[in-house]
Amino acid sequence: MSGLNLKKLPKISLHDHLDGGLRPQTIIDLAAAAGHKLPTTDPIELGQWFVDSADSGSLVRYLETFDHTIAVMQTVEGLQRVAREFVLDLAADGVIYGEVRWAPEQHLQQGLTLDQVVEAVQDGLEQGMDAIEAKGGFIRTGQLVTAMRHADRGLEIAELAVRHRNAGVVGFDIAGAEKGFLPIRHKLAFDYLASELMPVTVHAGEADGIDSIHDALVSGRALRLGHGVRIIEDILLSRSESDTDFVELGPVARWVYDRQIPLELAVSSNMQTGAVQIDDATVSDHPFAVLYDLGFKVTVNTDNRLMSGTTLTKELELLVDTFDYTLADLETFQLNAAEAAFQDLEQREELMDMISEGFADFA
């Protein structure tokens, strides 16, 4: 596997935050126009500042990074540019389908409405897709409209998502502080989404444990779990030198396993945010390999490319380096993600065919 250019492999990105994937130079340009002060105006140093802050182990510093990205995403021009470049960057990394998640309620500081910001992002995504198509490439995108779990606009954001479902929005998510803010706080939103048959993914099992995952499944009716890393806490493992067997799955892990609910794992980000509950954890302690061995539906994601200094290609390389995965394993992760996409079955089958063909060409 070493020496292969994994960038060329067709990939699916399911968990990728719009406000966590800006180019440093774009932040600098837009901040200058908005009069927003940055820690530095050198693009290399700024990129490093984001990674260092996210690596610091301080939640305050981690969250401060988003103050700067969100500050420059308050105008139609800013939102369009960020969304357009997001698509170009995914396509350059070999992504053929990307779900772009972001929280419209955080982008109203300059007076835009919820509908206007969703439209601005959609315009940018379409500009990006058109540019790739014009060059003979292929990428499709879908917006995941996110509500902030500590705030109280869940139902309003759910209605926004449904209103734009035929105009680029493919699903709903809640994000932000997980601990202390269970999905049931947004029960009305989730009941409404269910009545509208709108797909839902929920951040769960990242900063909180099994109770949070349980509620994402029950109150949120989540079809996928945003990370879900801590599902491992509901699994009693028997480990030998050569392989991993489970002795017992708890009820929540059993449900996720039996129903093959996709896990949107993001290894680099999970290491930064402490989702792996082991002191001084290294990448090899991440439960990705255990969950994959046991037959859980694992997918590979970037979460916040800017803060983690990563790309989907780099995440695949990290997994290959750490767990010795083969091309066939990487193909499985991409097929899992294609199958889990919030798209019609016909479109998912098309993506799966493109992945199989792309990997066959590569081998």
Least separation in angstroms between residue 296's CB and Zn ion is: 18
Which of the residues 206, 264, 317, 339 is marked catalytic?
Answer: 206
* Cβ neighbours of 192 (radius 10 Å): 18
Window 267 to 326, contacts with Zn ion (CB under 5 A): 303
Cα gap 176→152, rounded to integer Å: 12
Instruction: Between 112 and 263, name the residue whose CB sits nearer to Zn ion.
Output: 263
Instruction: Between 68 and 359, name the residue whose CB sits nearer to Zn ion.
Output: 68
Strand 140-148: give its sheet, edge to edge.
11-17, 95-102, 140-148, 169-175
Instruction: Between 181 and 359, name the residue whose CB sits nearer to Zn ion.
Output: 181
- Name the phi and psi angles at 131, rounded to 5: -65, -40
Structure token digits, residue 317: 């390389």
Cα gap 254→132, rounded to integer Å: 42
Least separation in angstroms between residue 18's CB and Zn ion is: 11
Residue with tokens 């982008």: 107
6: left (phi over 0), alpha (psi -120 to 50) or beta: alpha
206 in catalytic set: yes
Least separation in angstroms between residue 168's CB and Zn ion is: 20
Least separation in angstroms between residue 264's CB and Zn ion is: 8
Least separation in angstroms between residue 208's CB and Zn ion is: 13
Q: Looking at the chain, which runs of residues are DSSP E strands?
A: 11-17, 95-102, 140-148, 169-175, 201-204, 224-227, 235-239, 244-249, 263-265, 298-300
Instruction: Between 100 and 132, name the residue whose CB sits nearer to Zn ion.
Output: 100
Instruction: Between 89 and 303, name the residue whose CB sits nearer to Zn ion.
Output: 303
**Alpha helices, H only, 200-325:** 210-218, 251-258, 267-273, 288-294, 305-308, 312-323
Query: Which residues lie closer than 8 Å to 41 by C-beta, 6 or more apart?
Result: 28, 31, 32
Catalytic residues: 206
Site of interaction with Zn ion (CB under 5 A): 303
